[in-house]
Amino acid sequence: MTTYLNNYLDSRYKTYKNDFYNGVVRVSYGGYFATGTLLYDGVSILTSAHLFNSLAPSDTTVRLETSLGTVTYDASYTKYEKYDPTSANGDLAIVKLSQSALVDAQRYTLYRQSDEIGKTFTMAGYGIHGNGATGVDERDTNQILKLKTQNTFDADFADIKAKTNLSWSPLAGSQLAADFDDGYAEHDAIGMIMGNANAGLGTMEGLIASGDSGGPAFIDNKLAGVATFVATIDVNGISPDINSSLDSSFGEVASWQRISYYQEWIDKTIRTSYLDAPTKPQDVVKNIKEGADSEVSTTYFLVQYLGIRADIGEIISVDYATRDGSARAGEDYIATKGTLILYLDETQALIPVEIIGDSYYEEDETFYLDIYNNSHGSLGDGVVMLSAMRTIINDDFLL
């Protein structure tokens, strides 16, 4: 990942094993690697499809680094079924870990609004290091280092296509574009194309590089984009690139897959992988054994919409968040919050919550899941929030 300053080891670009970015992982396959993001269920990693050069879901590993240690997981993957490598449309894959991630690893929710353009985002990844003036430093490709930096989503890549002679065809609304600005108009690639000049973010401005593919772009601490590629785009025969090499230097442009566009595929792919999940209310288990020390299990909350959609095109959404009772987040269960969407063919969906096991005796404990801000229907006359409780059953012997 290239950065604005000459020294990419400056502390402002570092990530740490106990910070917000410790759920950003290194995904390896067939001798290549990319970056990925741990999602809200604790076992799914979102990354790029172009990492995987065959359909065989083998030889995939994920490296996760937190304060509890560095762990490498075996994994399998599912590529977006309409992935188009020629135009980089749908360049997404979900990698499933062989077991739940370490309990202190950050789980990320999705940015679901379609207002990303013009917003500043933070990216993190394991890509090659360097700076905007000279590009990536190919001499330092063996060091495993995860950096963070920032940029601004400047445009929909399809709108750039409409104004230039790109040789590929991004789907409208599916790819977000950002350029690498250094404060000079002659290197403001998207500003030259779209007429929306942007001087950049100064010392925090950066761009993805080789190895950052699949890496996250966060808006408001939610996953808004997945890094795909870097390109040089001529504008009326003039190149805004500061040099003649495709090396993530000033004046180059990068693409991110737009999470708000692909959220249905992401959600549904995760839902189909839930293990021992209830399909009707009477199957919901409300008393959960906590399990062995550091073992993570999953309990599910079933949300149903019993109304009739006023419009066949409407999707239903509700916000949710866990809440402590006698059980404590981070000790007994992993806190989660986000937005649940029921898509057009759905009347119900599950919210997973991970339970943390231990090996010492304690009383049975409870926690809650609240749902609120429903987009349609009613939670009940005068009711603004519904709550469901789970009891974690102690299964350790008292000696």
Q: What pLDDT does 397 receive?
A: 47
What are the start-end ranges of the H helices in the chain? 157-163, 189-194, 259-271
CB-based contacts of 328, cutoff 8 Å, min separation 6: 365
Rounded to whole angstroms, how far apart are CA atoms 215 and 15? 14
Q: Is residue 346 classed exposed, middle or buried when 0-12, 13-18 and 19+ CB atoms within 10 A define those classes?
A: middle
Q: Structure tokens of 227? A: 């890094």
Are 229 and 255 within 8 A, CB to CB? yes
Q: What pLDDT does 108 receive?
A: 98
Q: What pLDDT does 58 receive?
A: 63
Are 22 and 28 within 8 A, CB to CB? no
CATH number, domain 278-393: 2.60.40.2030
- Span 212-235, average pLDDT: 97
Are 151 and 120 within 8 A, CB to CB? yes
Choose the weakest-confidence range: 197-206, 231-240, 321-330, 335-344.
231-240
Q: What pLDDT does 399 receive?
A: 42
Are 135 and 245 within 8 A, CB to CB? yes
Can you give 245-270 as a three-state secondary structure string?
CCCCCCCCEEEEEEHHHHHHHHHHHH
Rounded to whole angstroms, how far apart are CA atoms 263 and 266? 5
Choose the weakest-confidence range: 24-28, 287-291, 351-355, 385-389.
287-291
- Pick 179 or 5 by higher pLDDT: 179
Q: Structure tokens of 203? A: 């010392």
The neighbouring-strand residues paired with 231 are 253
Rounded to whole angstroms, how far apart are CA atoms 286 and 181? 53
Query: Can you give the residue ranges of every domain in the chain?
Result: 2-266, 278-393
- Span 384-397, average pLDDT: 87
Torsion of CA 117, 123, 127, 130, to 10 degrees: 90
- Span 132-141, average pLDDT: 82
Are 48 and 254 within 8 A, CB to CB? no
Among the listed residues 14, 216, 253, the one whose alpha carbon sits nearest the alpha carbon of residue 122: 216
CB-based contacts of 309, cutoff 8 Å, min separation 6: 316, 344, 376
Residues 48-83 have pLDDT tens digits of 999 997 655 568 999 999 999 999 999 999 999 999
Averaged pLDDT of the chain: 93
The DSSP element (H or E) to which 2 belongs, if any, is strand 2-3
Rounded to whole angstroms, how far apart are CA atoms 27 and 37? 9
Strands 222-231 and 216-219: antiparallel
Rounded to whole angstroms, how far apart are CA atoms 99 and 83? 27
Domain 2-266 has CATH 2.40.10.120: yes
Are 64 and 101 within 8 A, CB to CB? yes
Rounded to whole angstroms, how far apart are CA atoms 111 and 135? 30
Q: Structure tokens of 219? A: 């808006």
Q: In what order do the strands lie in the sheet with 147-152?
A: 147-152, 120-125, 216-219, 222-231, 253-258, 175-179, 155-156
Q: Structure tokens of 220? A: 């408001």
Query: What three-state secondary structure class fits 21?
Result: helix
- Does residue 319 carry a pLDDT above 70? yes
- Using the structure block, give the residue that is written with the tokens 């994994």: 75
CB-based contacts of 98, cutoff 8 Å, min separation 6: 73, 74, 75
396 pLDDT tier (thresholds 50, 70, 90): low
Can you give 174-224 as a three-state secondary structure string?
CEEEEECCCCCHHHCHHHHHHCCCCCCCHHHEEECCCCCCCCEEEECCEEE
